[in-house]
Structure 1
Amino acid sequence: MKLDPNACYQALVSRDSRFDGRFYAGVLSTGIYCRPVCPARKPLAENCRYFANAAAAEAAGFRPCLKCRPELAPGYAWSDASQRLAKRAEECIRAGDEANLAELAQRLGVTDRHLRRVFTQQFGVSPVAYAQTQRLLLAKKLLADTAMAVTDVAMAAGFGSVRRMNSLFAERYQLSPKQLRGQQQRRQDRAEFRLSYRPPLDWQALLNFLAARAIAGVEHIAGGQYWRTVRIGYQGQVHKGWLRAWLGDGEVRVELSASLLRAVPPILAALRHLFDLDADPQEISLGLGTLPGEAGLRAPGAFDGLEMAVRAILGQQITVTAARTLAGRIAALGESCQDAPQGLSHYFPDAATLAALAQSQLGELGVIRSRSGAILALAGAVQQGLDLSPAADIDQVKEALMALPGIGPWTASYIAMRALHWPDAWPENDHGLKVASGCKTPKALAEAMAPYSPWRAYATHHLWSTL
């Protein structure tokens, strides 16, 4: 990404939140790099150097600011298909699923040499350097926001040992983890995290959309807060617990049950997708032109790809309310969540549990035969390695989905829009879109949606909001 020093400095001086996460400013006189919204006194223009990401700033020898905390900056939702491979690799790294370069390249279906070249061209650093910075920033976040022991922080951040974390902290930050914790206030009573976004954010509209589709026992929305149970695999273990999220003072706040503190990276990454916190409303608004809808309207992703995909199958040609009812019945087949807050009771069944069901069991819940067959086939495909996360290749996933019985273009596209969180995906031939746009045929609807590329997921939500 090419950065204009003059434009960056103006954004830095004015603390323009639209550029938060789009670049970082390294200050030569202090050796520190900051977000554009940093409250500290602004440096002279000639002392500033600009970087597209935190890893590039650290590779140049700068250490993160303790005031603006670069680890809290929002990410960036890419829409350029040519950058898809680099973006998929970044998704894996941000979710703490990078392992090593060879394994990451194998997961993405390319050679490690090709991945290193493409990633470095896009981010200015290698995947290994980028992942190392993400681990350091996560450890910094855990030290500041939780009372976790330093040993637990090292394990949760993926360092493998406290010695390795201490060594990198001394090398990069010129501080030990204990010294950094002493300089930053941390919560002793609970694990609370902050997720930044670029304003505006219509939090209530987001909750309304999720509430209409919330799965009973798994999700609960009340009082401006989102609650859900969490069962997630990370570092070879399954972590189970619950979370709640709410809007507070320009950030989304997240509380995790103590049982989930060893799985922070994939949980926070999933929430950023669910709430679409990496979106750039200004850029999207320019792409949508005069399309009706509020500027803060987001295109929600999904917390769990399989859960979302099952929900999409259940929603084929029936009302949102009816699909929600069926999803709640299926959720009740999952494991009970112990010590869950009010409104939560179960973890959504995993792929193995679903695949082991008989069609008759789903039929007893009210799921018709064609949809129960599709759900079982989907669960089997996920067991065999079908990836339903934002790190997946959208073309390969859609092709694999449409090869399954009972899944057509609408379902595959809806899954791509939400589970894979691709900004240009949209539910083809959707009835609601045809009503909102006045189009009568699939061809007319496709032609009407074409001008909104690469933001057709957002165009979908804007049109739906007018119904």
Structure 2
Amino acid sequence: MISEIQQQQYASARLSRDRRFDGQFYVAVLSTGIFCRPVCPARLPAEHNVRYFHFAQQALEQGFRPCLRCRPDSAPGSCAWQGVETTAKRALQLLSSELAAPVTQIAERLGVSERYLNQLTHKAVGMPPKRYQLHSRLLQAKRLLQQTSLPVTDVAIACGFQSARRLQDTLQRWCKLSPSQLRGAQHSQPTNEVSLFLPVHMPYNWPQVCSFLALRAVQGVEFVDSNGYQRHFKDNYGVLSVSAYFNENKGGFDIQLTISNPAQIQPAITTLRRVLDMDTNPAVISQSLIATGLPADQLTPGLRLPGAWSVYEAGCRAIIGQQVSIKAAITQLNTLVAALGDNQEGQVYFPSPEALAASDLAMLRMPGARKQALRDFASLINSCGDAVPCDEQILAIRGVGPWTLQYIKLRGDSEPDQFLSGDLIARRQAEGMGLSTELAAPWRSYLTIQLWLLASAQQAKSEQ
């Protein structure tokens, strides 16, 4: 539901066409039956003739069609999570990213019943989970049809539809459009190369993200330079490579995927958006950090939370990095990948949990107890399959404490509200500045990143 205050705010934002509001809400026009982004260049309708929605899926559910001019499916990820409880937020994220997963499976991953999941999504967005997932499939299909030359069959597979006919029928029902109408004169052709543009909420501090990822890049697996980020990885369908190049003028990233199967597209995009933190609203973050007592001139504009590619990889990084410097940890990680990583045709892939769990890790220079913790963590990940282990399972591993778990959640899950109180650098910075860290909630992960940045800047200045 849109409150009266939000209605007034959205009305003002719509008239301003300010790009900072792009992706935060959608505008539906009653007379045309079309919904748009607030930055749509079309003639502004009268206020009495519009309705507002937090999510594009809600507009589709109410019978509005997406605008072909501003393409609501191409907006940055929605920031309208405020007031939505954690489980509901996680549910909506999974429903919009796990497009082919049965709702029963998503409920299992959340640790709730399907009936309770239905109650959560009804309360959050006014529709059942299956319908929200269906609308998410439609929006992704529209994006792929308009931005790529993938055949309709491949688009259907990538978006979780059972067939091209099913995609066509669903598009016609909800959008009153066919795939050919969306694609226009562009011809489809089979290809394993997919190019897309993914928008972000500006400002976006690419130099900060670039420096963070470059310092921690794994040789052969990741490549980071001033222009962009590249990554090789494997999933159940085969190998995949992804490249992301920051385009400041367009306000987002130009993405290139080399795929083995079209079903890899959506999971790869979802993970990449999280790793590069594309959907955060920097204005909201800044307000929360200032509330702690952090001086405004100490803030990093467009601050982001760079993620690790998976919970498994974040855990390996955290355990190897216990009580050592970042440089020493990455040296050890590179040694591990060189010894156990899968090397195919010059491309290196992060070691599988099976390979790590079965190794004696003799190549690593670290205490035996830490090696055992690394093996135990890999065994846990392997036993969980596609599910994510719970906090209790991770903490049950000998040698894994609160700091390690928080790091895993901060970078592997990209949870926004993890202040690493056990981190010496972050704690000293917070105490030295007299910050009330709890006031940064629910964005304390960003406070951790900000304090690390301030400490690094201070160290660099002292070394000059």
Equivalent pair of 2:150/2:189 in contact (CA under 8 Å): no
CA distance in 2, matches of 1:219, 1:311: 14
Which residue pairs with 2:320 in the alignment?
314
Shifted more, 205-214 versus 218-227: the winner is 218-227
Confirm or deny that 1:255 pairs with 2:261. Answer: no
Q: How far apart, CA to CA, are the structure 2 residues paired with 1:448 and 1:349? A: 40
SS in structure 1 of the partner of residue 32 of structure 2: coil
Give deviations 1:154-196, integer Å, cap 9, x for gaps: 1111101111111001111112112211167999995221222
The residue number in structure 1 matching 2:11 is: 9
1:463 paired residue among 425, 437, 451: 451
CA displacement, residues 378-407 of structure 1 (integer Å, 9 cap, x when unaligned): 11111221777xxx6xxx733221111111
Report if the CA contact (8 A) 1:293-1:465 is conserved.
no
416 and 322 in structure 1: CA distance in 2 versus 1, 3 angstrom threshold: same
Cα displacement string for residues 44-68 of structure 1 (whole angstroms, at most 9, x for unaligned residues): 2121111111111011111111122
Provide the residue aligned with 1:244 in structure 2: 243
Aligned to 2:394: 401
Larger displacement relative to structure 2 (238-247 or 187-196):
187-196
Taking the aligned partners of 1:12 and 1:187, their CA distance within structure 2 comes to: 38
SS at match of 1:139: helix
Tell me what 1:61 maps to.
Answer: 63
Of 209, 229, 238, which residue of structure 1 is paired with 2:232?
Answer: 229
TM-score, normalised to structure 2, is 0.90
Which of 12, 35, 60 matches 1:33?
Answer: 35
CA deviation digits over 1:350-394, x for unaligned, max 9?
Answer: 222222222xxx132324312211111111111221777xxx6xx
Deviates more, 1:370-379 or 1:5-14: 5-14
Aligned position for 1:207: 210
* Cα deviation digits, residues 275-307 of structure 1 (max 9, x gap): 111111111111111522213111122222211
Q: Which amino acid aligns with 1:370?
A: A
C-alpha distance 36-188 of structure 1, shift in aligned 2 (>3 A):
farther
Aligned pair partner of 1:294 in 290, 300, 305: 300
CA offset at residue 107 of structure 1?
2.2
What residue identity is the alignment partner of 2:2?
K
> 2 CA distance for matches of 1:282 and 1:450?
19
User: Is the Cα contact below 8 Å between 1:92 and 1:98 reproduced in 2?
Assistant: no
Match of 1:430 in 2: 423
Instruction: Determine the structure 2 residue equivalent to 1:23.
Output: 25
**How far apart, in 1, do the equivalents of 2:439 and 2:156 lie?**
47
Residue 174 (structure 2) pairs with residue 172 (structure 1): yes
Distance across 2 between alignment mates of 1:106 and 1:437 = 38
* 2:310 is the alignment partner of 1:304: yes
* DSSP-derived class of the 1:259 partner: coil
Give the root-mean-square deviation of aligned CA atoms: 2.4
Q: Distance in 2 between matches of 1:92 and 1:331?
A: 30
Following the alignment from structure 1 to structure 2, what is the Cα–Cα distance between the partners of residues 19 and 141? 20
- Indicate conservation of the 8 Å contact 1:145/1:186, yes or no: no
1:85 paired residue number: 87
Question: What per-residue deviation string (whole Å, max 9, x for no partner) do you get for residues 70-90 of structure 1?
Answer: 122222457769611111212
Question: Which residue of the partner structure matches residue 279 of structure 1?
Answer: 280
Structure 1 equivalent of residue 353 of structure 2? 351
Aligned partner of 2:163 in structure 1 is 161
* Greater relative contact order (Cα < 8 A, sep 6+): 1
Amino acid at match of 1:412: L
Amino acid at match of 1:306: Y
3-state secondary structure, aligned to 2:223 = strand
Say if 1:79 and 1:15 are closer, same or farther in 2 by CA, change over 3 A.
closer
- Structure 2's unaligned 5+ residue stretches are 456-464
Aligned length: 444
Matched residue type, 1:2: I
SS in 1 for 2:232: strand
User: Cα distance, 1:130 vs. partner?
Assistant: 0.8
Q: 1:188 to 1:200 in 2, by over 3 A?
A: farther
Shift, 1:435, TM fit = 3.5
Partner of 2:404: 411
Q: Distance in 1 between matches of 2:32 and 2:46?
A: 12
**Alpha-carbon distance in structure 1 between the residues aligned to 2:167 and 2:201:** 31
Residue identity opposite 1:335 in structure 2 = D
Structure 1, unpaired ranges of 5+? none
Give the percent of matched residue pairs that are identical in Structure 1 and Structure 2: 37
Q: 1:335 aligns with which of 334, 338, 342?
A: 342
How many Å apart are 1:221 and its aligned residue? Answer: 0.8
CA distance in 2, matches of 1:82, 1:163: 35
The answer on whether the counterparts of 2:204 and 2:303 sit within 8 Å (CA) in structure 1 is yes
